[in-house]
Structure formats: structure tokens, C-alpha cells
Structure 1
Amino acid sequence: MTDVTARSYYAPQGGLPPQSQLLTGRAVFTTAYAVIPKGVMSDIVTSYLPFWDKTRVWILSRPLSGFAETFSQYIMEVQPGGGSARPEPDPQAEGVLFVVEGELTVTLAGVERVLGPGGYAYLPPSARWTARNAGAAPARFHWIRKAYEPVEGLSLPDAIFTNEKDVAPNPMPGTEGRWATTRFVDPEDLRYDMHVNIVTIAPGAVIPFMETHVMEHGLYVLEGKGVYRLNQDWVEVEAGDYMWLRAFCPQACYAGGPSNFRYLLYKDVNRHARLGVR
């Protein structure tokens, strides 16, 4: 049986394709989903952010009216010595950092924590944190941001710092351990209104039904390759590709390669559906 605890992490490197490359590719944007292949993450689609130095960003998704409205997802690339003393400009924003390459030193409430590959941090709203690359190589990490939805009687969620290697995957029932989810947050803790998990599917294993649900998704393929059924289409994806799914987009998949198919998954949870514009 394939070991679902084995892990690796794909990180974009930028650059540009050669002049000999064909224009056709796998990128697609529909009313139900978008696929951004790893080849799209070139130098010319990066941006720079206020209060970050020696840093560039690939913005993979952002709230978009009529599509996915709850979150944004970035891949940050911080050069040695770079970072930010004011990383988050929005006091209502919560965030998750997930490191895929290099090391990032995150300081919160005066405590420094060094996150290496597989490092995870949940940062609650109004948290005064900083980020710095004190290493000798670039640090690359995902930064997922969401406007926190407070609830009367519930305290703000606590910050979390951990690493994937320290969190045991949870096998999905009835799958013989071939489909597992690594959860960094207790699903029953209602203080948290978003989850960022890692899903691992062993070679040949499947998600055997068309999930159709209210949660929006960002799915970044960390390792391997798979075939996704999105709405009415079959889409082949591999390490470095990103899928952005609006609410209720039907979805299923199977692992299509010789290694584990693993992806970083965002979803919004634990809140009432909003009724109208507020």
C-alpha cells in the first residue's frame, strides 16, 4: 500500500517559456471553475505588494463577484533578507501561510518561529505578525486570506503554528487508507470559519462521487498528478497547477500517476449563508 504520509512540495520558479513553445495550453476559465497551470506562473504575471521588500507574488485567486467571493490565494516568493514588518493591511483579514520551499521566520507576539517546507501558520484577524527570510535561499509559500466572520459569544480563534510532518493524516472512511486528509484545525471548533487542509490520494484511488456543495475551493497541486471531473469536463492536472472552484461546482477525481496525488485545499466553513448584501 502506498504511504500517504510521504510528502513533497512543488514551488514555482518563474522565468519565461522559450520562443519555440506552442501557444496552446491547459489554462481555462469557466463560469464554474478555473484551471491555472504551473506554466502560467511566469515572471510577467507577478506583482509586488506594499510594505514587502525583496518579494514578489503570484495572485492565484481573489474575491470575484458571481464566482468565488470568500478568499484570495497568493504564492509569495521572498528573497534572502526580504519580508515585511506590516504584511497584512486589513485588520479584518485572517490568514494561513503554508511553506513549500525555503524558510520563513514568522514573528507573532514577540515569539519567532521558523517555518520550513510543510510549515503551516494560522494567523487570526488583527494579529500583529511579521515575516522575514533569514535564510540563504528564496522562501516560497502560500498565503490564503479571508475576511473573518465574527460570531456573538465566540472568541477569536487562536494562532496555530505546526508542520505537516507533525500532523497525522485522517483516512477517509471506507477508503482502505488510500484517501486521507491532513487537518490543521479541529473541524468542530466553530471559532474557525475557514480550513486549509492537505488531501492525499494514493495512485489509482478516487474521490468516487461528484461532490456538489456550498464551499468555495482553491486547490493547489503539491505533488503528483490526477484527473479531475469539474462540472461537465475532465481536466488533467499535475504538481504546480491550481484549480479555483466556485460554490456548487460538481467535482470528483482520481490519482493518475505513479506517486501520491496531493493538494492544498481551501474551503469556507462553520458559518450561516449570508442573506443579501450587507
Structure 2
Amino acid sequence: MKPRTYYAPTGGHPPQTQLLSDRAVFTEAYAVIPKGVFGDIVTSNLPFWEGTRLWVLARPLSGFAETFSQYIMEVAPGGGSERPEIDPEAEGVLFVVEGEMTLTLAGERHAMGPGGYAFIPPGSDWQVRNEAEAPVRFHWVRKAYERVEGIEVPEAFVTNENDLEPNPMPGTEGRWATTRFVDPNDVRHDMHVNIVTFQPGAVIPFDETHVMEHGLYVLEGKAVYHLNQDWVEVEAGDFMWLRAFCPQACYAGGPGPFRYLLYKDVNRHPRLRLGGR
């Protein structure tokens, strides 16, 4: 199998000669945050994390993401956290795009490199440390877990994309496939974070319009997306947020695969009261 490649931001500042205009778009139905936005000036810090900075891609906000937050974490050698999550009801997914780190989960150490994926249930005991000689960069997707009486909270697991076979979309001859880290029929999970791959020229041939909210981070390649009534070009390093029911379709531009990390909320009743249950 050809080694996977994942885009990771490195920060910095653009030169004073650079034009101001870019592809950034923020609407009531979707947002496109291009890779050029992720400079030093927009990084954040977190409590109880050492040698770490992050880019916040999405957060619950009126008129923006409603169900999740997503960060790109950058941890320097020796950095990390013994108390990474301060919300006991938050579940999380970690996905490594560059470098190496050690995840300690319920006392068990896991070495994670590019393609490494971890699901962390709410209330877990976990720590992260960069024991390597170069920075590690990884995505951290967080969601308030929606408990349901009579359904158990799913257990933690650690895996790697390279150990999984993508599931082809029927009727596409494998040109459109999804790497699923969780069984779609497992209703214990209320979010999926998967990887979608389109081969050059592959398409979503209709405007998907559905209840799931989406966060899409482009890991590799480029494509043209139809969002609401607009056509936008995206490439590796760009992030898209799609509100529930935002029409969406795309075609991969080539010359290589177009791949993205996809968040969606699943397997729960829609809330009947805004801002509550």
C-alpha cells in the first residue's frame, strides 16, 4: 500500500507583500477556512498543556458549529498534558497527521504515529506526551456525549488508518470510499469521525441534504465543492464546516486522491428545544 500523506499546518506569518484576498468564506450554512489562515497569530493555548499550541477549527457557537469542537494540536518535544480534558462529559477522537506521541489511556501506553486514531469515552483517564525529537501534530475532535438510558457508553480504542480497509460506496467501482473506525450500526456512538477518499474524477453526484452536521478537514489533494448554492475550491489543509441540511456535493480534481477527515453527529434524536434537551 502506498504510504498515506496528511497535511499539517506549521504556522508562521505571511510576507507583507502577500495579497489580502483569499478563499475564506463564512455563511449561515457553511464556512471554508483555508490553510493560509493557520498562521501564528490565530493559535491558542489550553489549561494544563505544556509546550503546546493549537488552531481551533470549530467550536459550538450561535450560527456556527452546534455539536462539536475541533482543534489541530501542535505539541513540542517534551510537551503534552497529564490532564488534557477538563470536561467529564466530553468524548474525543485523536488523529495524528505528523510526528509521534505517546497516549496513555487507562494506564496503558500507546505509541501513535501518522494515521494513528484513538477514541476516548467521557470520563476517561488519559494523558498525552511527545517523547520524540520533533513536534507532533494531531486533530482533536470533542463532543458532549449524549447518554441514553439503557445504552452503555462505548469503550476506548486505539488503531491506525493504515490497518483498516476502506469501504467502497456501492456503484462507484471503489472511486469513492470511506475508512470507518466505528461500526455504523453501533448506536452507543453518537458521533463518527471517518476518512473519506475520492480518486481523481470521482464525484458525489447529487446535493446531499441531511440532518448531520459536518466538519471536513482536507488531508490530501484538491476538489471543487458545491455548498448551498456556491462552488468553492478546496485543497489539502483547508477546513469546511457544514450546517445540518446544507446541500453538499463535490468532484475530485486530481491528479492524486482527494481525502478528508469527516466529523458527523449520529444515532440520536434531534433536540426539540433550542439550547437544551
TM-score (normalised: structure 2)? 0.98
Q: Residue 7 of structure 1: CA displacement?
A: 2.3
What is aligned with 2:187? Answer: 190
Name the CA distance, whole Å, in 1 between partners of 2:228 and 2:3: 30
> Is the contact made by 1:68 and 1:247 (CA closer than 8 Å) also made in structure 2?
no
Q: Which amino acid aligns with 2:209?
A: T
- Equivalent residue in structure 2 for 1:267, among 250, 264, 267: 264
CA deviation profile, 1:202-247 (whole Å, cap 9, x unmatched): 0001011100011011100000000000000000000000001111
CA deviation profile, 1:175-225 (whole Å, cap 9, x unmatched): 010000000001111110000000000000101110001101110000000
SS at match of 2:206: strand
Q: Percent identity?
A: 76
Does residue 167 of structure 2 align to residue 170 of structure 1? Answer: yes
> Is the contact made by 1:215 and 1:248 (CA closer than 8 Å) also made in structure 2?
yes
Map 1:246-265 → 2, pairs under 5 A: 246-265=243-262
What is aligned with 2:123? Answer: 126
Name the CA distance, whole Å, in 1 between partners of 2:112 and 2:244: 32
Unmatched 5+ stretches in structure 2: none
> Is the contact made by 1:210 and 1:251 (CA closer than 8 Å) also made in structure 2?
yes
What is aligned with 2:224? Answer: 227
TM-score (normalised: structure 1)? 0.97
- Equivalent residue in structure 2 for 1:10, among 7, 10, 14: 7
What is aligned with 1:87? Answer: 84
- Equivalent residue in structure 1 for 2:148, among 147, 151, 157: 151
What is aligned with 1:117? Answer: 114
Moved over 3 A (4+): none
**How many residue pairs get matched?**
275
Q: Residue 97 of structure 1: CA displacement?
A: 0.2
Q: Residue 155 of structure 1: CA displacement?
A: 0.9
What is aligned with 2:28? Answer: 31
What is aligned with 1:62? Answer: 59
> Is the contact made by 2:199 and 2:254 (CA closer than 8 Å) also made in structure 1?
no
Name the CA distance, whole Å, in 2 between partners of 1:67 and 1:223: 25
Name the CA distance, whole Å, in 2 between partners of 1:222 and 1:67: 22
> Is the contact made by 1:91 and 1:126 (CA closer than 8 Å) also made in structure 2?
yes
SS at match of 1:203: coil
CA deviation profile, 1:11-46 (whole Å, cap 9, x unmatched): 000001111100000001000000000000000000
> Is the contact made by 1:72 and 1:145 (CA closer than 8 Å) also made in structure 2?
yes
What is aligned with 2:103? Answer: 106
| Alignment root-mean-square deviation, CA | 1.0
Q: Which amino acid aligns with 1:52?
A: W
What is aligned with 1:241? Answer: 238
What is aligned with 1:46? Answer: 43
Name the CA distance, whole Å, in 1 between partners of 2:56 and 2:6: 18
Q: Which amino acid aligns with 2:231?
A: W
SS at match of 1:10: coil
> Is the contact made by 1:33 and 1:230 (CA closer than 8 Å) also made in structure 2?
yes
SS at match of 1:24: coil
Q: Residue 143 of structure 1: CA displacement?
A: 0.1
CA deviation profile, 1:164-184 (whole Å, cap 9, x unmatched): 000100000000100000000
SS at match of 2:185: coil
